[in-house]
Amino acid sequence: MLVDITDSGNLRIHSGKEVRKKGVERCRLQTFAIGGEVVSAYRRNNYVFVRCIMCKRLICLVSFVLVLCVSGEAIGQAERTEMLLAQSWRFEKGDPSGAEQPGFDDSSWRTVSVPHDWSIEDLEGQNHPFDPDAINSFDVGYTVGGTGWYRKAFTVPPKLQGKRFHLQFDGVYMNADVWLNGQHLGNHPYGYTSFWYDITDKIKFGHENILAVEVKNEGKNTRWYSGSGIYRHVWLTVMESIHVAHWGTYIVTPEVNKSSAKVQVRTQVVNATEQQKTVTIRTRILDLKGFETSKTETNQTLQRKSSSELNQILRVKSPKLWSTESPVLYTAVTELLEKLVLTLGKVTKAGHVYRHDSH
């Protein structure tokens, strides 16, 4: 489930594994139905909480700053945002020549949403996906792999020039080659890990951008059902030139007891500008209800075109320890400030405090 907050303060909820127009509800912090559950949303300390009315469980916690207001395929202005590229992909099974080029005619291709798996689709002329001659035979349930292509068009408004753009694939099976506007971003052969690219210098602002992905699930390569295609989400992240690095937050709790927990936060901060910058890194720990339990701030000088790792220590008093009976989660919020103004973005990461006993 994804929650977006519009400039007017409204919520936009995305239900299910993919974003569909019929799965979007809009409200002003009120009660509504989504995904078969009646939920309510409310705001506290710049966070939006979405709760199930019937079971009272917290469904999701969203930072108020991590907001993306989109219309169709156009990205709006925000600090650090993540856009789910789920709808309006073009797909073709096979290996057409030149499909990586922006001008390629894909009008005859099928329109699909991702995540997408072509191995479970009915084979041509059949009402099932099974082939007794499948290369991987019973290991993959007699389903078929092969080669397939995906293409996606999106636009980025000119006002976002100067920001950084990352493109992340949560999972593609397998051997994926990725192009943006005809430029090859790279190859990711393994089908079970996420990967990402910095596409900042390849974006065409104010014009249509064409993302093309070739997926090759060829030969005998697995001992279980793997599927074929872009089988997990694709994200476009927009951030400032000074930002927390992609996957740049690492949190551990080396000391935990009933009275206190020591929280160690390591943050990789990137300065992609041409100037040396001094920033403030503020880290806060929030409990399940969004109340602040600990906070620290550190000033850091960042050299031009460089990254720096910062280590911070926080203490949480009387922590609520995680267990299977009480799976309590805390949220770490990392904010980058310049001259004590939040202009560089915010990153949140949820986790638990857990005491490991050697016996």
pLDDT tens-digit readout, 48-70: 444 443 333 333 333 322 222 22
* Over residues 131-151, mean pLDDT: 92
Specify if 80 maps to a domain: no
Q: Of the candidates 239, 261, 292, which is a domain's last residue?
A: 239
Note whether 268 and 315 are same-domain residues.
yes
The pLDDT assigned to 14 comes to 40
Note whether 249 and 194 are same-domain residues.
no
Percent of the residues in the chain that have a pLDDT greater than 90, as a whole number:
65
The reported pTM is: 0.76
Note whether 42 and 131 are same-domain residues.
no
Residue with tokens 């694939």: 169
* Over residues 107-121, mean pLDDT: 97
Give the burial class of 291: count Cβ atoms within 10 A of its Cβ; 0-12 exposed, 13-18 middle, 19 or more buried.
Answer: exposed
Count up the domains in the chain and report the number. 3
Residue with tokens 């399940």: 288
Per-residue confidence at 350, pLDDT binned at 50, 70, 90? low
pLDDT tens readout for residues 286-318: 998 999 999 999 999 999 999 999 999 999 999
Gap between the Cα atoms of 28 and 11, Å rounded:
6
Task: Find the CATH number of the domain harbouring 316.
Answer: 2.60.40.10
Is the pLDDT at 20 greater than 50? The verdict is no
Note whether 235 and 94 are same-domain residues.
yes
Note whether 282 and 325 are same-domain residues.
yes
Residues 67 and 75 sit within 8 Å (Cβ to Cβ)? no
pLDDT tens readout for residues 239-290: 999 999 999 999 999 999 999 999 999 999 999 999 999 999 999 999 989 9
Note whether 299 and 176 are same-domain residues.
no
Query: What residues make up the domain containing 98?
Result: 89-239
Specify if 219 maps to a domain: yes
Residue with tokens 């064409």: 210
pLDDT tens readout for residues 219-238: 988 888 999 999 999 999 99
Specify if 78 maps to a domain: no
- Per the prediction, the chain carries an average pLDDT of 80
- Residue 174 preceded by cis peptide, ω within 30: yes
CA distances from 307 to 73, 159, 291, 312 (A): 31, 26, 31, 16
Q: Which of 249, 236, 241, 240 is nearest to 347 (CA)?
A: 249
Note whether 162 and 227 are same-domain residues.
yes
The pLDDT assigned to 338 comes to 86
